[in-house]
Amino acid sequence: MKKRLFLILALLSVMIAKADEGMWLPYALNGQNLAEMQAMGCKLTAEQIFSFNQPSIKDAIVQFGGGCTGEIISAEGLLLTNHHCGLSYVQKHSSVEHDYLTDGFWANDKSQELPNPGLSVLFLNQVKDVTEAVLKDVTAQTTEAERDELVRKNSKAIVEEYGKQDFHRVEVVPFYSGNQYILFDYIEYKDVRLVCCPPWGIGKFGADTDNWTWPRHKGDFNIFRVYTDKEGNPANYAQDNIPMKSKWFLPINLDGVKPGDYAMILGYPGSTDRYSTSYTVKNIIEEEGPAIIDCRTTKLDNYRKHMDADQEVFIQYASKQASVSNYWKYYIGQVKQLMRNHVFERRQAQEQDFRNWVNADPKRKAEYGDIFSGIEKKWEILDEIEKSFVYHREAGWNGGEAIALSRRFRVLNDSIEAKADKGWILKMAERYHGTADAFFKDYNAALDQDVTAALLNLFYKNIPTALMPSEILRIGRENNGDFTEYIAKAFQKSVFTDPARLEKWLQKPKSLSKDPLYALSYNIVESYQNLYARYEEAQNLGNAGERLYMKGLMEMQQDRNFYPDANFTMRLTYGTVEPYKAADAVNYNYYTTMDGVMAKYVPGNWEFDIPQDVRDLVARKDYGRYANEKGELVVNFITTNDITGGNSGSPVIDGEGNLIGLAFDGNWEAMSGDLNFENKVQRTICMDARYLLWCIEKVGKCDNIIKELKIK
């Protein structure tokens, strides 16, 4: 099938302001991109990196688990990703008796590899520009609400047309604020098995304290394997499935890195907003960021109290705590660095330049002259409701776990209250047994009770009464703002806090209207929907203006690198290995070593403990062929590549297509980077490939894996 892609406006002829910045579409690399890459040390052709007509590096890159990136590193489907990307799957296999989180897991034979229900990986199969089809019937007179409905309807029709094959996942994705739409067709593999996971003291070393900072000393990796049916096709899990025969896999280079070395990353960055207005930046600094920080701080404080007191609770909540804490610290850093790097003021200056450019030409004034009036109206509404919007989600229907669970029962309860056929209701209820079993496996009611009460106390205290769910307002007024006693009683009564009560209810389901947690959840969701109506009103007022602003910026700044914002589609970034100056008299080297790991070691500390066998290896300097020329074991290094969330697990590739590292984080000084790339200080933090191999061979004693890899 002939595959052609069309990039809008002047993208193909755009000048590149700085090579390190840019999340480029790998199927649309232009001559200037390639010239920059080659000048920096890339020896690969565009076809070797990305091709639909022959195997290429892109065939080794996967979306992992719906939120990360992974890469194939052997001919038999071995898949490398980050420890934090695979943590939830390791947690599901763990118990006090088999504590794979603390001790690690190492399969010395394929028969020991563990299946992971619900985990899948996606390989990119096809890309097609569908802008014309998506915008069919959209005219200059179409209202924003009408446009949204047409885009939704047309996109759905396109997905249905292309997504009829089994194990294919098709989606239509907007680019450039909705000025372009591209179809992505993925092949989905659903049998993905855990092969190895390092112990907590390697894979999670530094935890919250070190997160989003440099220097780092973390072995952030897990290894899985992709399986197929006997004919090599994607398949659901079956015991007799076979390892995938890889179309492409990445060899591993043992030479290490030095300043100036070329580094390329292919992966699936999640979300950036580099072309947003100053109104967006202001809202994050003043409303969204602080609200998320406050809610998650409260949740994490209560998690920690229970996790530190009980190892079983630690195992149950390790993945949940990591998920909450990651973007808790992200928003702390983002708010701080947006202010420190004056991003709001820089956006305002850009908007004034845009106004001047528009006013200098009557045609431009006719097209762009009034766009900011709608944008301003949009953000007036969002500035008013954003904090409550966040609290409804973070402290409300998604705050306490039992409340979140109760939301899943709304459809069933609506059927009960509508007096639907009893046989049908019982059949429907039967489907919830698996949901209940999975929920209570990793649930601690005492912890959840404390979390729920604390979050509702915060909700009642911090949100204006006009923007608060009526039930939270009522309960708060009746209890002097303290939800502790009310939630304690609710947890004793609700079917969603006890597996026996829920099982009994599923046997004879009846209306949940008197269940206190369900009633509270229902009220919060109803209140959220009312807020969402105002959110949609805001979007209808401002989205057209923001879309035109994007179009106008590209017209005004034809020498700027207008790569599209990240949207969890495959991107390529390129840069070099470099140190950086973080602040006055603060200069950071480009790599860290095992000596730094030992310097941070704190016995018994959940963030900085190190297993005894690892300490023994370090004491003997048993680094083997993985030591550098100084005899050091390099752990992490940094590059100037442009990445964001979703790139976690992405391969760091040298100029000849070999794996040299594994991307896993960004640095504190550039936490504003999702809105504004910070050329001088933005760095990608990577795990060195030699540390990966050392962990596999020396710590895990998995010679079977070492033999399977292609090591140069």
CA–CA separation, 381 and 378 (whole Å): 6
Give me 457's structure tokens. Answer: 């106390």
Q: Are 116 and 92 in contact (CB under 8 A)?
A: yes
Three-state secondary-structure class, residue 559? coil
Length of the chain: 712
Amino acid letter at 438? A
Is 88 designated active site? Answer: no
300 and 321 Cβ atoms separated by less than 8 Å: yes
Long-range contacts of 59-62 (CB under 8 A, 24+ apart): 59/123, 59/246, 59/247, 59/248, 60/246, 60/247, 60/248, 60/249, 60/250, 60/651, 61/123, 61/124, 61/266, 61/267, 61/268, 61/570, 61/650, 61/651, 62/121, 62/122, 62/123, 62/226
Residue owning tokens 């994050």: 284
DSSP 7: -
**Is residue 220 annotated as a catalytic residue, yes or no?**
yes
Strand, helix or coil for residue 684: strand
Local structure of residue 421 (DSSP, 8 states): -
User: How far is the C-alpha of 81 from the C-alpha of 675, rounded, in Å?
Assistant: 26
Name the amino acid, one letter, at 125: N
Please name the residues in contact with 275: beta carbons below 8 A apart, sequence gap of 6 or more.
177, 549, 550, 553, 562, 565
* Three-state secondary structure call for residue 574: strand
Two tokens at 211? 């997160």
Please tell me the distance from the alpha carbon of residue 82 to that of residue 650, in angstroms, as a whole number: 8
Give the distance between the most distant pair of CA atoms in the chain. Answer: 76
What CA–CA distances, in Å, run from 120 to 82, 279, 316, 537, 647? 15, 38, 22, 37, 17
> Do 482 and 457 contact (CB within 8 A), yes or no?
yes
Q: Report the C-alpha gap between 394 and 591 in whole angstroms.
A: 37
Catalytic-labelled residue, pool 20, 83, 84, 276: 84
Identified catalytic residue from 648, 654, 665, 674: 648
List the 651-653 sheet strands across, edge first. 571-576, 262-267, 651-653, 659-666, 684-688, 634-639, 591-593
Bridge partners of residue 540, in order along the sequence:
none
Q: Among positive and negative, which fits the CA dihedral 646, 651, 652, 653? A: negative
Per-residue tokens: 393: 């989600």
Q: Is 168 a catalytic residue?
A: no
In the block, tokens 């420190």 appear at 340
Place of tokens 């404080």: 301
**What letter would DSSP give residue 675?**
T
Tokens representing residue 321 in the block:
């705590």
Which residue is catalytic, options 59, 220, 448, 450?
Answer: 220
- At residue 355, φ and ψ (nearest 5 deg) are -60, -45
Active site amino acids = 84, 220, 648
